Structures are given as structure tokens and as C-alpha cells.
Amino acid sequence: MTTDITYLSDLQSGDEAIITKVLGHGAFRKRITEMGFVKGEKVRVIKNAPLQDPVEYEIMGYNVSLRRSEARLVEVVSVEEAAGLAEVKFEGTIDEETLKVSALKKGKTIRVALVGNPNCGKTTLFNYASGSHERVGNYSGVTVDAKEAVMKKDDYTFKIYDLPGTYSITEYSPEELYVRTHITESIPDIVVNVVDASNLKRNLFLTTQLIDMNIKVVIALNMYDELEKKNVKFDYDSLGQMIGIPVIPTVASRGKGIDELFAKLIDVYEDRDTSVRHIHINYGSLIEDALKEIQDEIWKTPEITDKLSSRYVAVKLLETDKTTLRQLEKYANYETIKGKAKKAILKLEKEYGEKSETIITDAKYGFINGALKETLTEPRKDKQAVKRELDDILTHKFWGFPIFLFLMWLMFQATFTLGSYPMEWIDAGVKLLHDWLQTSMSEGPLRDLLVDGIIGGVGGVIVFLPNILILFFFISLMEDTGYMARASFIMDKLMHKIGLHGKSFIPLVMGFGCNVPAIMATRTLDNKKDRILTMIITPFMSCSARLPVYVLLISAIFPSRQGLVLFSIYVIGIVLAILTALVMKRVAFAKKEVPFVMELPPYRIPTLKNTSIHMWHKGQQYLRKMGTVILVASILIWVLGYFPRNVEYSKDYDTQIVSAQTNPQLSEMQKENLVSHLTVEQEAERQEKSYIGQLGHAIEPVISPLGYDWKMGVSIISGLAAKEIVVSTMGILYQADLQADENSGTLKANLHKQTHLTGKMKGQKVFTPLVTYGFMLFILIYFPCVAVIAAIKKEANWGWAIFTMVYTTAIAWIVAFATFQLGSLLV
């Protein structure tokens, strides 16, 4: 049997051949097999002129054209050769089936490359499998080029290549380049990654690079005897499941596990092994964004992605790999790709203050650490020698949780206490501006707009900037130090219980800052169902825009126990998220679980500068929102509350005021009180009859079972645009009618004094603790905000966006109703 390989591109016009193998890369393979280029299929060349591209073929009765570079990736046997291989010759004619069968025999040649660190036992394995006698040695550099051997197993012929040992696939040594070229140019069917089991961490580094390359890999976990001797427990099956690569333990020097290894190779070659799965190593959001940018450009040249994974090429470019750049030189968009990579590298290096190559290496080790943390248990060293590592504590089975909860509590506590000082300063500033405009401007709609509309609205929200910056500072700090990854790690098991895994945890925590980036961060999840489930429950993570509402109401109504009340709101949000996930898991997302590696990136001491920059990025968004959405909404709410001016009052206030002022029986004090009381009443009635009052009254039937007055209803509606607007609306509505009261203080004090002016509850306080608490829950749960819905629509689809709107609002109402009604029974 001849072992020369014929490629589809070698055939001449009119030639017929049978396909034996499709090489090349994931996306290319998928496309070409969809076109009909599969093993055993007959293909005829219609036109193949020497310098012409593309080439035309006929397959399955269709004419298709392939680029020459594509045809170079399809292995065939000519019909003549297949006939020659056929064992049964029947009067000179051979039927199609026999041809196919004999052609496929040739397709049963599996090319296997042995790749691994020096001294991991590649040559030993090679010798044992092939019965050859290459030198083995306990020093590196023994194998300088590839040795090739042939062996047979079952129906299959293996061509095995023993490649030089490398620690990594870069370009620093001839060995590395040799291995790399072999994989990308000779294209073995399967790479056997020989891993020294007694030195997993270092050996798996090469594995992470093979993962990037998106090729078929089987791990031979060699030196397994050494591992057993050390009394180490290693759950290699789990590891294999997590990284999508089968792992077979071997002891090459004694020939153990070799049969199993080759049996596995056949399964993987024939695509029968279900544990084979291409995974992405998560490099963290900054690198992932950079990769995506570069990949988008790479995709424009399909010749690159036929042979190489775009992700691998992009990673290599970020590592400033010259060989890869040289490979791309011949393509039209080379300069653009190079430019994008350069820009991305500059940005990354500025952000991390380290070489981009180091950043990627760190991320790879983060992946390995995470994978081993879950699968490898080393025996306890003797007590004195135990050096406790930070990870042993932070991801400890018992201590991990209290530490996490403590840090969360600390975060909220700091948000409150540290935030209250600058908050008071800004508050005082706003009040000063308010009073100054009030006295220096002449009376009229413009003054009212500025003072009540804009300062009342925007000013009411801007005071919370410090709280929000502090919250973002803590979140950035947790991300920058690497603690967030540890938190995800300990949360992983718990998250599994609700049908998610630890990776969903980071988007969820980010949700405390702002739900919009959190929903975008779900992109790091590989599975669509996980993404959608995470998206749906993210709005229950109370974002910083809701914080002003709580801070306002808590400080007004719950002056003692502020931290505790706030914490409880957040906890209720989390509980709802969990319940929702549990229900959804049952109803819509029943699925088979795939294990993942939870990366444990190295700890970094964050620089104050970087963390502040991250915090500021987020704070900027807040300020921008202030100048746009909140400003416009404030003006709108004010306008709706200001007009119409000519309302019909239920009584003649003007006459009553005059008669009060001229009533000789009253003291000056009494006069003043009566007048101010009448003025307040008049303004309240006017506002109630304004457009916004009409709107509020229209929705009253829906909200009065919750114990709310119409102004709260209006605030809720205004919060659809952004939740901070709830506060600005309250600022406008509750400030206005107390304007004339000289004792009127801050909005806080006004809320405290507020009574129902109409209806069954007339005269009773509006903001009882019960109503306030229910209201905060409503704000927490209902319709997140327009931006979040837009994000969900973008990341999922309209269906889920609409579902989120309806679902959250319904739950909000039910929870608020239950709180108020049940609470009223108890109190």
C-alpha cells in the first residue's frame, strides 16, 4: 500500500476521486462538509486550470467551486488507486460501494504527533508503541527532529511522529518552531499531548496553547506511576471533562495505558468521543475584547482561518509573535490586522503595566491553577512545613464564605458611612444654589423650572455620586486584585445548585454596579442557556442607580439600622434571583451540565491609580446620565406637574388667604400659620390637577393596594427611564407643596411629614415603615430600566427583553402587595 497523499488540488480536469479525509480548521471543516465534502464521497474535477482560482468540482450532483487553498486541505484517492486497493475485482468493473470501502481503507491512516515537554516520556511512548528503539535519555535535547514510525491497530494504521520537546509553542527555540510548523503545516490528525503527571502545572501550560489552536488533542498522562507514588489524588477524568480533552493515564516505560491510549485515538479520530469539546480559555474581559477586535479583522481573510483558528492567531498577535506576523504578510488586510493588534497591545500594557505576553501567560496559569484546584489534592506536607497560601484561605471550604460575606457587608457599610460625608457637602452645595437662585431670580416659570425642575431633579440625584463611586471602587478593587475570581470559585458549587456555574457570578456581582455592563459581561459564558438565565436574573442585582432611592428613604424613615435595612434589600434581590433561576431551570432550561474550569488568575496588588481609573470610568457614565436622561426626565416631570396653570380649585384660596390676613381676631403667628397652610393646600391641589397628577390618579387603582399615594405612582413611572429619576421625581413632587412652609427642610424631612391628602387614608402618614419598605422592594424588582432592556434585546432577543419587562414588574407588584397587606395584618 502506498502512503503518498493525494490532495484534491492535485487532480486534473476530468479526474474522479474519493474523499478520504478533510483536514483544516473548525469553521472551514464545517462549511466544507456542509457542501458535501465528506469521507467516502466521490468528487469529479470539472475545471482545474493551472493558475486558476477557484477550481470547479462536482459533488453529490452539484457543482461547487473551492479555492485552491481549500482544495489543498482535502485528501483523496483517485478512482484508479481505489480500484487498485479493492480486493474484489469483478470482471473488470467495480461498483461504487466497493470503491468507497477500499478508498476508506486509506482514510484509516491516522497521523499522530507526540507533543510535550522535554523528558515527559514522548520517545519512550513512541518506542513502545512502534516497537522501535530510539534513544531515550533523562536530559533534554535528545530528540532534535521528528522521528516517524508506523504501527497498526485494529483496522487502522498509525503514523506516529515523535517531535522535539518544548515547554511552549512560541518562537524562542528551533524546537518550538519545529513543533509549531509540524502542527500547522503537516496537520496531524490528532496531537497526543504527553504530560508529565508529576509536574502537572508546568506541563499543562503547553496544553493551554494546544487548546487555543483548536485542534484534536488527547492527553497521555504519563509517569502516572510517579504520581501514585507521591500519594497524590488527581481526578483526571474531571479535568478532561472540563477542558474537553480526553485524558488517558500511561506509564510509557512499562507500556501501561498505551492500548487504551490508541483505542481512544481511534474514537477521537472517528468523532465518537463525546467528551471532546473545544473550549476557550478565558483571558479576562480586557484581553477578550482585544481578541474579538483582532479576530473580526482576521475573519475577513478566509485563507487564514482555513488552516488556523482565528482565536489562536489573535492570541499570538497579542503575544507580539513575529512568526505569525510573517505568515500573514501576504494577505491584503495584513496592515489592518497588524495595526489593530498594535493598538490593542498598547492599551493592554497601559492598563496592566506589564508586557502583553506576560498578561496572557498569567491568564493561562490562572486557568491551570483553577483547573488543578478542583481536581488535584496533594497530601498534606508535615505540619511545620505547611506554607499556607492565600488561596487556601480565600477559597477554603468553610472560611471562604464568611470571608466573602464579610467583604460584601464591608462594601455596603462603607458605601453608606464613608459616603455620607461628601454627600452632606454636595447636599449643602445644592441647597445653597437652590436658595441663591430662589432669591436672586425674579419670580416666573423660568425660575420655577430652574429651581424646582432642574435643581430639584438633578440635584436630588447628584448627591449620591459619592456613594456610587465608593461602590464602584470596591467592585473595581475586587476585580483588580483577583478576589472576584476567588469569589466565583467558591460560589461555583452553590451556583450549580441553581443551574448556573461560578462564571455567572462575576456578571451578577457587576450587576450591583450597573446591570448594563453586567448583561454584556454574560458574553464570557460559553453556553447560550447560561447566558440567558444569567441575563434574566441580573436585574435582581440591585444596581447603583437604585441606591439613591434606598439611601433617601432609609435615611428618612429608618434612621436607626440603616446598614441592616439596606443589606436586607440587596439580600432579597439575591433571593429572588435564586428563586427565579430555580424555577427557570425547571421550566425552560433543563439541560445537561458541562463542567468548566474556573480560572484563578494571579493576585495583583492593584495600583490606586488603576483602580481609581476603573472607578472613574463607571462614575463618568453616571455623570453623563445626569446631564442627559435625568436632566430631560426632570424637566419633563416638572413641565407635566407645572401645567395646566389655570386649574379650577375646590375653594377660593385667594379670598380665604386675604380674609385670614385681615382677620383681627388672630395673632400674627396664627395668621402666618393659616396662610402658609392655605398656600400649601392650594399648591397641592393644583399639582394634583396638573397633567402629572391626572396621570398619577389614573394609575391609582393599581398602586393603592400597595399603600402608595399618586406621587409614588408617578415616581415609579418616571423610573422606567432610569431608576435615579425616581428620586428626582420625588424631589420635584414632594418638595413643591411644602415650598411655602418655612420649616421645610430637606427632601428627607418632607417625606417624613408627608400625609395622604385624599382618599381612604386621608390624613395618615404616607411613608410608614411598612409602605416605605414595600416601595423600596418595588423599586428593586420592577422593570430594570430602558438601557437594561435594550442590552437584553441586543444580547438575547426581543422575546427575552419583553419577558424581563413583564416578569419583573409582575413580581414587583406581588411582593410589594404581600409586604403591605401581610405587614398591615401583623402590625
Strand order of the β-sheet with 109-116 is 147-153, 156-162, 109-116, 190-196, 217-222, 247-249
225 binds, among ligand GDP, Mg ion, none (CB under 5 to 8 A by kind): ligand GDP
| Among 10, 41, 225, 267, interactor with ligand GDP by CB under 6 A | 225
Q: Shortest Cβ distance from residue 144 to Mg ion (Å)?
A: 9
Contact 647, 686 (CB under 8 A): yes
From the CB of 149, what's the least distance to Mg ion, in Å?
13
Distance of CA 314 to the CA centre of its chain: 20
Residue of 226, 288, 391, 448 interacting with ligand GDP (CB under 6 A):
226
Identify residues 135-194 at the interface with Mg ion (CB under 5 A).
142-143
CA distance 121 to 128: 11
CB of 352 to Mg ion, least distance (A): 37
Least separation in angstroms between CB 121 and ligand GDP: 3
Residue 146's binding partner among ligand GDP, Mg ion, none (Cβ under 5 to 8 angstroms by kind) is none
Distance of alpha carbon 217 from alpha carbon 247, whole angstroms: 9
Among 109, 143, 542, 772, binds ligand GDP (CB under 6 A): 143
d(CA 827, CA 824): 5
Q: Which does 137 bind (CB under 5 to 8 A by kind): Mg ion, ligand GDP, none?
A: ligand GDP
Q: Does 253 bind ligand GDP (CB under 6 A)?
A: yes
Residue 198 or 320 with smaller CB distance to ligand GDP: 198
Residue with cell 457637602: 425
Site mask, ligand GDP, residues 103-142, x = CB under 6 A? -------------x-xxxxxxx-----------xxx---x
Site track 289-318 with ligand GDP (rule: CB under 6 A), x = hit: ------------------------------
The listed partner (ligand GDP, Mg ion, none) that binds 222, CB under 5 to 8 Å by sort, is ligand GDP
Smallest gap from Cβ 167 to ligand GDP, in A, equals 12
| Interface with Mg ion: number of residues (CB under 5 A) | 3
**Residue of 217, 252, 287, 516 that binds ligand GDP (CB under 6 A):** 252
CB burial readout 740-755, b (16+ within 10 A) else e: beeebebbbebbbbbe
- 166/295 with CB nearer ligand GDP: 166
The residue range among 2-10, 40-48, 217-225, 778-786 that interacts with ligand GDP, by the rule CB under 6 A, is 217-225
Q: Are 461 and 732 in contact (CB under 8 A)?
A: no
3 binds ligand GDP (CB under 6 A): no
Q: What's the gap between Cα 606 and its chain centre?
A: 22
Site track for ligand GDP across 154-183, x = CB under 6 A: -----------x------------------
Q: Where are the beta strands (DSSP E) in 772-816?
A: none
**Judged by CB, which is closer to ligand GDP: 199, or 568?**
199
Secondary structure letter of residue 454 according to DSSP: I
Distance (Å, whole) CA 636 – CA 826:
40
Residue of this chain nearest to Mg ion (CB atom): 123
Region from 10-18, 223-231, 765-773, 788-796 binding ligand GDP, contact rule CB under 6 A: 223-231
Helix, coil or strand: residue 195: strand
Strands 156-162 and 109-116, how do they pair? parallel
The alpha helices in 66-149, defined as continuous H runs, are 68-71, 79-85, 96-107, 122-130
CB atoms within 10 A of CB 600: 24
DSSP codes of every residue in 355-396: -HHHHHHHHHHHHHHHHHHHHEEPPPPPGGG----HHHHHT-
DSSP label at 249?
E
Minimal distance, residue 180 CB to ligand GDP, in Å: 17
Alpha helices of 528-607 — where are they, by DSSP H?
528-537, 547-557, 562-587
Residue 725: count of CB within 10 angstroms of its CB:
32
Number of residues forming the site for ligand GDP (CB under 6 A):
21
Kindly write out the interface string for residues 119-138 of this chain, putting x where it contacts Mg ion by CB under 5 A and - elsewhere: ----x---------------
Question: How far is 368 from 207, CA to CA, in rounded Å?
Answer: 9
Nearest residue by C-beta to ligand GDP?
A: 121
The C-alpha atoms of residue 449 and residue 460 are separated, in whole angstroms, by 15
* Distance separating alpha carbons of residues 335 and 331, to the nearest angstrom: 9
**Among Mg ion, ligand GDP, none, what does residue 118 contact (CB within 5–8 Å per kind)?**
ligand GDP
Kindly list the residues in this chain that would bind ligand GDP in the complex (CB under 6 A).
116, 118-124, 136-138, 142-143, 165, 222-223, 225-226, 251-253
Q: Which residues bind Mg ion (CB under 5 A)?
A: 123, 142-143
